[in-house]
Homo-oligomer: A and B are copies of this chain.
Amino acid sequence: MEDNPSDSAAIEALTPQRRVVLEVIRSSMGHLTANEIFEEARRRLSTISYATVYNSLRHLKQAGLVGELNFGNAASRYDRDTARHDHAICTKCGTLVDLYIPATIDLMRAAAEQADFEAESIHLTLTGVCSGCRLVVSD
């Protein structure tokens, strides 16, 4: 979760725009959308454009410095945590929660064998109702 020291060199090589985008993602607790990242990035670097945010996100993702998450047809969300982990998503409010289920990786072999795939990664998504939404009276 904390910055990986081996990233330092890669981070120093970033353009100011890309560094700002990365810092926005790293400084947020949640999983921001490109639009949210753009808004916050613009506060820190007023000249940055929408296209550059998208270009930066693509570059950072490719460089392994951020992860991208897709659920449904909504906007992608970007994850500061690039290590393999799982997610839970609330069907009421859309809240996205990080999940660390070590047993997920155990299913990779069986899944790869069944699919006849050379496995690269595996991801578990729990859908349900978050604690906040369970407290709401009106279902």
Interface residues of A (CB under 8 A from B): 70-73, 76, 86, 88, 90-91, 97, 99-101, 103-104, 107-108, 110-112, 114-131, 134
In addition to A88-B117, A107-B124, 8 A-B residue pairs with Cβ atoms within 8 Å of each other are A73-B76, A101-B107, A101-B110, A103-B107, A107-B107, A118-B134, A119-B127, A124-B125
Contact present for A116 and B131 (CB under 8 Å): yes
Contacts of A114 in B (CB 8 A): 88, 99-101
Contacts of A125 in B (CB 8 A): 122-125
Contact present for B73 and A71 (CB under 8 Å): no
Q: Looking at the complex, which one of B86, B115, B127 makes contact with A88 (CB distance below 8 Å)?
A: B115
Contacts of A130 in B (CB 8 A): 115-117
